[in-house]
Structure 1
Amino acid sequence: MRKVFLGFIVYALAELALLIVIGQNIGVFNTLLLIVATSIIGIYVVKNKGMNSVQNVKNTIARGEAPGPALIDTVLTFSGGVLLALPGFLTDLIGLLLLMPFSRKMFQPIFYYWMRKKMKKGNFIIVQK
């Protein structure tokens, strides 16, 4: 629990420092405009690209294939859009990395590892109907 709390504090301080540095370099108004623009883009991505990814998962299931890769892609795309919608430049950077197909492939093994770890502990259960 301490690590999570410490992580949030470090993240908040890093985000604040980055906002100050960027604000000094490009101006306060431009910084705020950039934050609002990335938030709007993030909302658009979640709405459109996220729904397309969900449809892709449904099509994969309808074909009788395992939805694993399509599901992982959907979760990472949705997460990238949400991170892009949140204010801050660190979240925007991570969100953009999750949205780009070539960099999303870097995150897929990490997500698979996390899922397997959760499944072994019994914290993550897949139910088939």
Structure 2
Amino acid sequence: MPWFVALALLVVPILEIYVIIQIGQVIGGWPTVGLLLVESALGAWLIKREGRRAWNALQNALQTGKMPGRELSDAALVLVGGTLLLTPGFVTDVFGFFFVLPFTRPLARRGLSAFLSRRLTTQLGGANLTGFIPGAGPTGPTGPTTARPGPAAGDVIQGEVIDPDPKKP
């Protein structure tokens, strides 16, 4: 993963400069600068609006005792999308708008969920993480649910608890 970040830090600025030059050759230099400024202003307004919505949804989920998986992933996507929108360039703005806009964010959330699930599964040696990743599986009222081996509901197992080391008074 670190090599991917290093490669992105080298390739993305070069790609941004290339795209800005190409657009500048088609529409002119000043209109390109104006378009970049308008995109940045629109992005800042959108970040403020969607960031406030994500924050309010997160607070509401925490106050009601709901597991805030969806709200946390939305907040993370707005944060990353906002960073991309405030970075000058057209390519990063496309990805930033994809992460921040409310009608494209569910697609980004599904992609994030799949990425994290795949990443955690490989890190943990193939463990089943369904229900632990937001949007990856069923969740119950108190959080993720997983199938546990044991008796079916209503079955009673008779037994006795034996303390091997009773405390002496």
- Scaled by the length of structure 2, the TM-score of the pair is 0.63
Give the equivalent residue in structure 1 for 2:23: 22
- 1:64-103 per-residue CA deviation (whole Å, 9 max, x = no partner) reads 1110011111221232222112110001100111123332
Moved runs in structure 1, 4+ residues, more than 6 A?
Answer: none
Q: What is the count of residue pairs matched by the alignment? A: 122
Give the equivalent residue in structure 2 for 1:92: 93
SS in 2 for 1:61: helix
More helix by share: 1
Equivalent residue runs for 1:29-108 within 5 Å: 29-108=30-109
- Aligned-residue CA RMSD in angstroms? 2.3
SS in 1 for 2:12: helix
Displacement of 1:56 after TM fit? 1.0
Give the equivalent residue in structure 2 for 1:12: 13
- Aligned partners of 1:83 and 1:91 also within 8 Å: yes
What is the rounded CA distance, in whole Å, between the counterparts of 1:44 and 1:103 in structure 2? 17
Displacement of 1:63 after TM fit? 0.9
What is the rounded CA distance, in whole Å, between the counterparts of 2:107 and 2:18 in structure 1? 27
Displacement of 1:3 after TM fit? 3.8
Structure 2 stretches lacking a partner, 5+ long: 125-169
If asked which structure has higher relative contact order (CA below 8 Å, sep 6+), I would say 1
What is the rounded CA distance, in whole Å, between the counterparts of 1:4 and 1:58 in structure 2? 32
Structure 1 stretches lacking a partner, 5+ long: 123-129
- C-alpha change, 1:66 and 1:85, in structure 2 (3 Å) is same
Q: Judge which range, 94-103 or 60-69, deviates more.
A: 94-103
